[in-house]
Amino acid sequence: SAVWVGVQGAGLVGCVSARDSLRPDAADTVKRLRDRGISVHILSGDDPAVVARVAAQAGVDPALARGGLSPRDKLDAIEALKRQLGAAAGEAGSKERGGVAMVGDGVNDAPALAAADVGIALKGGLDAAGEASQVVLMGDRLHQVVDALELGSATLGKIKANLAWALAYNVVGIPLAAGALLPVAGVALNPSAAAAMMAFSSVAVVSNSLLLRATRFSTDTASAGSARTGSTAAPQPQ
């Protein structure tokens, strides 16, 4: 962006050029998202030439980088992506379409954040962006977008595992407690044993869920590798 400087009585005396610098983890974040099969777009209100340069630096396909957009344009772009994914799902015979996530930090991003399936706001952004989002990255670093996706996948995996465990446990335990095998095999659970088994089931489910605290993000692995080779890595969120 160019800022022209003038002095009263002297007219134009100079020009100051300023530009936003790319976040240090932007290119790596884009690469990891693309490695997960996620298409990365840029929707910006900045000059299209500036957006094209940033896209090249970040590793985003130039065809997916759009500049000079108003808040309404960003909203329309999100809606168009959702329709596009819905049409693709219909052609593939799937009842569920892919999701659209939007990452933003400004008031101009709020409508698009609200329209996306998942709105992700950066902590350093304005309150309007945070209020329109379902996820707020407290560390204000882009690589946490990948961390959030990995944590979401790990959480969903734990939910499925806990449901499968609870279903199998109850399929076996409830007939035993009801005495279904008593006439055939003479096996039955007394109330004390049944209560103990239910307590054990709850402890097992909670313990399995607590293992999420040990989740290792790909960002952590990459940072450890950078440290071993002498590179400087950004501090990790707690």
Q: Output 65 or 139, whichever has higher pLDDT.
A: 65
Residue 176 confidence (pLDDT): 79
Q: Which pLDDT band holds residue 235 (cuts at 50, 70, 90)? A: very low
Residue 116 has what DSSP assignment?
S
Q: Which helix (H) or strand (E) holds 189?
A: none
Please report, for the chain, the start and end positions of each structural domain, with discontinuous segments joined by +.
21-143, 147-217
pTM over 0.85: no
Question: How far is CA 91 from each of CA 84, 94, 95, 223, rounded to the nearest angstrom?
Answer: 11, 8, 10, 41
Residue-level pLDDT at 227: 36
What pLDDT does 126 receive? 61
Q: How confident is the model at residue 224 (pLDDT cuts 50, 70, 90)?
A: very low
Alpha carbon distance 219, 199 (integer Å): 37
The yes-or-no verdict on residue 105 having pLDDT over 70 is yes
What pLDDT, in 10s, does the model give residues 40-69?
999 999 889 889 999 999 999 999 999 999
Residue 230: per-residue pLDDT: 36
Tell me the per-residue pLDDT of 147-193, one tens digit each, with 9 for 90 and over: 888 888 899 999 999 999 889 888 888 887 777 777 777 777 778 88
Nearest to residue 116, comparing CAs of 137, 132, 127?
132
Collect all residues with Cβ–Cβ distance below 8 Å to 33 and sequence separation of at least 6: 40, 145, 146, 149
Q: What is the rounded CA–CA span in Å between residue 43 and residue 77?
A: 8
pLDDT of residue 220: 57
For residue 225, pLDDT over 70 is answered with no
When mean pLDDT is compared across 13-22, 76-85, 164-173, 180-189, the lowest value belongs to 180-189
Which fold is adopted by the domain 21-143?
Rossmann fold (3.40.50)
Residue 19 vs residue 31, higher pLDDT: 31
Q: What angle do CA 52, 76, 25 make, to 5 degrees?
A: 40
Instruction: Specify the long-range contacts of residues 166-169, CB closer than 8 Å, at least 24 apart.
Output: 166/201, 166/205, 169/197, 169/201
E strand or H helix at 104: strand 101-104
Give the burial class of 20: count Cβ atoms within 10 A of its Cβ; 0-12 exposed, 13-18 middle, 19 or more buried.
exposed
